[in-house]
Amino acid sequence: MTSTSFWQAEFRAANIPYVTRNSLEGAQETDIAVVGAGITGVSAALWLARAGVDVRVLEARSVAAAASGRNGGFIANGTTESYAAATARHGRERARHMWAFSVANHAYAAQFAQELEEQGWHCGYQRNGSYKLAAYEGELELIIQSALLLNEDGWEVQVVQSGELPERLRKAYYGGAFYPSNGEIHPVRFVTGLAHLAEQAGALLYEESPVIAIATNADGVLLTTPKGTLRARKLILATNAWLPEIGKLLDADWLARCITPTRGQIIATEPIPERILPCPCSADQSYQYWRQLPDGLLIVGGWRNRSFETEFHTLDETPNNSVQQHLDNFVHETLDLPGTRIETRWAGIMGFTTDSLPLVGQLPGVENCFVCGGYTGHGNAFAINSAKLVSDLVMGKTNVDAELFDPGRFRER
């Protein structure tokens, strides 16, 4: 089951000139095949096409149909875990490396957003920073600790007291930190824009082309869809939460042990005349997040920690009341906007890994196959640079980040 996000509905209603993409038909060949046309897949196609590689993308539905078109539109540097938690788990040097990787990802996103703006393709990119807020006193300590560590490592973060927060948030949150480098996008406009850039560079994208079989040998791979086949020298799987499902076609059942499909739910309100939020916010270890668009509309998501039993191990993109009631309560009670109408409700499926880090690289045990996904809710922070990394690996290039998210760390367990 599914739903339609505010971003998807707005994009369709705007009557933006849209390229009609056919489904794969007949027997086709390419150098590199990519499965999945979310932010990872279209970014990989863009990097590869601009490098002169013949690349084709197979998408079961349409561009940005899944999580890439259903998220909150945040571009927040770093991992899902706080910097302090990442440092404790992975060590200071590795945590610093991962943060730098996401900073580079944001730079690429800004570059592509600028290219699109120059072509008249507006994707809502802004860089107004964001707040990370404490929902309880213990969280504030961790936020402050992370801010101090980041400052020591050369990244600007400012500790914020509760009295400095936007007025409607002061009673519910204990303060936090301001991250001035963070940004925001209209995710559907941005990802469809990336797809256009990839096509301008020579990539071919097929929609409504679900992969139903994959055969591999020393010479390459053969992908089968309901209406055709695509033979390629190498393959990139870029389906994020659906990686365990497509992994079954390659006998890579172990992917299901390290990637858990996890539902995220969001609402969009009617436009609010009052400018109540200067920038995006997250709280409660990022289980809560919200932002206000330029027209006043509020995007509010998260709260899945109030119903873990319904939100894990699911590919159902339908919202449910067990979480939606908490999103409503935030608007009507926490923000004290009782008369505000909720206009859109939707859900998307994220790929959560057991160590909160993505898998980027050669798929262990499968010739000529690479994997890129498992962002644990931070796809916008990692996907473009992860796509560059996997594209470099597919082309046989050296990349200094090659070992950072090696999928072999899970296969070896």
How does pLDDT run across 135-187, given as a tens digit for each residue? 999 999 999 999 999 999 999 999 999 999 999 999 999 999 999 999 999 99
Burial label, 34 (beta-carbon count in 10 A; 0-12, 13-18, 19+)? buried
Same domain (yes/no): 172, 284: yes
| 39-83 confidence digits (pLDDT tens) | 999 999 999 999 999 999 999 999 999 999 999 999 999 998 999
- Number of domains observed in the structure of the chain: 2
| 303-328 confidence digits (pLDDT tens) | 999 999 999 999 999 999 999 999 99
Mean pLDDT of 349-355: 96
The range of the structural domain enclosing residue 347 comes to 127-182+260-353
pLDDT for res 276: 93
pLDDT for res 308: 93
pLDDT for res 413: 54
In the block, which residue shows the tokens 């991962």?
98
How does DSSP classify residue 54? Answer: -
Is-contact 301 290, C-beta < 8 A? yes
Residue 26 is assigned to a structural domain of this protein:
yes
Residue 41 is assigned to a structural domain of this protein:
yes
| 236-265 confidence digits (pLDDT tens) | 999 999 999 999 999 999 999 999 999 999
Cα dist. 82→21, 96, 98, 171 in Å? 40, 12, 12, 23
Same domain (yes/no): 334, 377: no
| 190-249 confidence digits (pLDDT tens) | 999 999 999 999 999 999 999 999 999 989 999 999 999 999 999 999 999 999 999 999
Q: In the predicted model, is pLDDT for residue 14 greater than 90?
A: no
Residue 303 is assigned to a structural domain of this protein:
yes
Same domain (yes/no): 312, 403: no
Which H helix or E strand runs over 125? none
Residue 86 is assigned to a structural domain of this protein:
no
Mean pLDDT of 379-400: 96
Residue 100 is assigned to a structural domain of this protein:
no
pLDDT for res 1: 77
pLDDT for res 18: 65
Residue 292 sits in a domain whose CATH number is 3.30.9.10
List own/partner pairs for 15-21 with CB under 8 A and 24 or more apart: 16/189, 18/192, 19/195, 19/196, 19/199, 21/62, 21/63, 21/205, 21/206, 21/207
Same domain (yes/no): 340, 218: no
Q: How far is CA 263 from the centre of its chain?
A: 13
| 97-117 confidence digits (pLDDT tens) | 999 999 999 999 999 999 999
Instruction: Give me the torsion for CA of 152, 158, 163, 165, rounded to 10°.
Output: -140
| HSE-up of residue 309 (Cα within 13 Å, Cβ side) | 1
Same domain (yes/no): 233, 364: yes
Residue 293 is assigned to a structural domain of this protein:
yes
Same domain (yes/no): 249, 301: no
In the block, which residue shows the tokens 């920073």?
129
Last residue of a domain, one of 353, 385, 403: 353
pLDDT for res 16: 77
- Whole-number Å distance between alpha carbons of 16 and 21: 15
What value, to the nearest 5°, has the Cα angle with vertex 201 and ends 199 and 202? 65
Same domain (yes/no): 270, 376: no
- Whole-number Å distance between alpha carbons of 203 and 45: 6
Q: Beta-carbon neighbour count of residue 251 at 10 Å?
A: 11
- Whole-number Å distance between alpha carbons of 169 and 339: 18
- Whole-number Å distance between alpha carbons of 269 and 219: 52
- Whole-number Å distance between alpha carbons of 132 and 177: 5
Residue 382 is assigned to a structural domain of this protein:
yes
Q: In terms of Cα–Cα distance, which of 341, 54, 333, 66 is closest to 207? A: 66
Same domain (yes/no): 137, 209: no
Last residue of a domain, one of 304, 336, 353: 353
Q: In terms of Cα–Cα distance, which of 123, 128, 120 is closest to 109? A: 123
Is-contact 67 348, C-beta < 8 A? yes
Same domain (yes/no): 361, 346: no
pLDDT for res 2: 81
Same domain (yes/no): 19, 137: no
Q: In terms of Cα–Cα distance, which of 354, 387, 380, 361 is closest to 76? A: 380
Same domain (yes/no): 335, 216: no
- Whole-number Å distance between alpha carbons of 316 and 218: 36
Residue 75 in tokens: 């571009």
Q: CA quadruple 226, 232, 237, 238: dihedral positive or negative?
A: negative
Residue 384 sits in a domain whose CATH number is 3.50.50.60
Same domain (yes/no): 175, 290: yes
Mean pLDDT of 26-45: 98
Last residue of a domain, one of 353, 375, 396: 353
pLDDT for res 20: 78
Residue 398 in tokens: 């050296």
Question: Higher pLDDT residue, 152 or 19?
Answer: 152
Residue 114 is assigned to a structural domain of this protein:
no
For the CA atoms of the chain, what is the radius of gyration?
21
pLDDT class for 412, splitting at 50, 70, 90?
A: low
pLDDT for res 411: 73
